[in-house]
Structure 1
Amino acid sequence: MTFSIVGRCPETGQLGIAISSSSIAVGARCPWVRAGVGAVATQNVTLPALGPRILDLLEHEQIDPAAALDRVLGASEWSEYRQVTVIDAQGRTAFFSGKEALGTYHAVAGKQCVAAGNMLAGVEVIEAMLPAFEQASGTLADRLLAGMHAAIAAGGEAGPVHSVALKIVGDVSWPIVDLRVDWADHDPIGQLDGLWQAYRPQMRDYLTRASNPTAAPSYGVPGNE
Structure 2
Amino acid sequence: MKRLAFLFPLVLTLLTRPAAAQVYTASDPLAHTYSIVARDPQTGDLAVAVQSHWFSVGTSVSWAEAGVGAVATQSFTNKSFGPRGLALLKSGKSAQQALDELLRTDEGRDVRQVAIIDNQGRVATHTGSKCIDMAGHQQGAQFSVQANMMLTNTVPAAMAKAYEQNTKLPFAERVVAALEAAQAAGGDIRGRQSAALLVVRATPGAGVWEDRAIDLRVDDAAEPLKELARLLRLHRAYEHMNAGDLAVEKNDVPGAIREYEAAEKLFPQNLEMKYWHAISLANKQQVPQAIKLLGPIFRQDANWRTLTQRLPKVGLLTVSATELKQILAAK
TM-score by structure 2 length? Answer: 0.61
Tell me how many residue pairs correspond in the alignment.
219
- Work out whether 1:80 is the aligned partner of 2:113: no
Residues 176, 203 of structure 1: 8 Å contact kept: no
- Work out whether 1:183 is the aligned partner of 2:248: no
> 1:42 — aligned with what?
73
Q: CA deviation at 1:49?
A: 0.7
| Structure 2 counterpart of 1:135, from 155, 162, 165 | 165
Q: How large is the RMSD of aligned CA atoms in angstroms?
A: 2.6
Q: Which is richer in strand?
A: 1
Rounded to whole Å, the distance in 1 between the matches of 2:48 and 2:244 is 24
Classify the secondary structure of the residue corresponding to 1:184: coil
| Structure 2 counterpart of 1:54, from 62, 85, 95 | 85
1:15-164 alignment runs, 5 A limit = 15-60=46-91, 62-136=92-166, 137-164=168-195
Code of the aligned partner of 1:77: E
Rounded to whole Å, the distance in 2 between the matches of 1:178 and 1:124 is 28
> 1:199 — aligned with what?
235
Shift >4 Å, 4+ stretches = 204-209, 217-222
Query: Please, which moves more after superposition, 95-104 or 2-11?
Result: 95-104
Q: CA deviation at 1:103?
A: 2.5
Q: CA deviation at 1:183?
A: 0.6
The structure showing larger relative contact order (alpha-carbon pairs under 8 Å, at least 6 residues apart) is: 1
Quickly say closer, same or farther: Cα 1:208–1:103, change in 2 above 3 A.
farther
Q: CA deviation at 1:44?
A: 0.6
Unmatched runs of 5 consecutive residues or more in structure 1:
none
Q: CA deviation at 1:29?
A: 0.9
Per-residue displacement from partner, 1:11-37 (whole Å, max 9, x unpaired)? Answer: 111100110110100011110001011
Per-residue displacement from partner, 1:22-61 (whole Å, max 9, x unpaired)? Answer: 010001111000101100000011111101111111111x
Rounded to whole Å, the distance in 1 between the matches of 2:103 and 2:174 is 29
Rounded to whole Å, the distance in 2 between the matches of 1:75 and 1:161 is 32
Rounded to whole Å, the distance in 2 between the matches of 1:120 and 1:140 is 25
- Work out whether 1:168 is the aligned partner of 2:199: yes
Classify the secondary structure of the residue corresponding to 2:130: coil
Quickly say closer, same or farther: Cα 1:157–1:206, change in 2 above 3 A.
same
Unmatched runs of 5 consecutive residues or more in structure 2:
1-31, 251-255, 261-271, 277-303, 308-331
Code of the aligned partner of 2:214: V
Rounded to whole Å, the distance in 2 between the matches of 1:119 and 1:16 is 23
Rounded to whole Å, the distance in 2 between the matches of 1:175 and 1:205 is 18
Residues 42, 51 of structure 1: 8 Å contact kept: yes
Q: CA deviation at 1:207?
A: 9.5
Q: Percent of pairs identical after alignment?
A: 36
Classify the secondary structure of the residue corresponding to 1:160: coil
TM-score by structure 1 length? Answer: 0.89
Rounded to whole Å, the distance in 2 between the matches of 1:88 and 1:149 is 24
Rounded to whole Å, the distance in 2 between the matches of 1:122 and 1:88 is 29
Rounded to whole Å, the distance in 2 between the matches of 1:184 and 1:169 is 25
- Work out whether 1:2 is the aligned partner of 2:40: no
Rounded to whole Å, the distance in 2 between the matches of 1:150 and 1:64 is 29
Q: Which is richer in helix?
A: 2
Q: CA deviation at 1:203?
A: 3.6
Classify the secondary structure of the residue corresponding to 2:131: coil
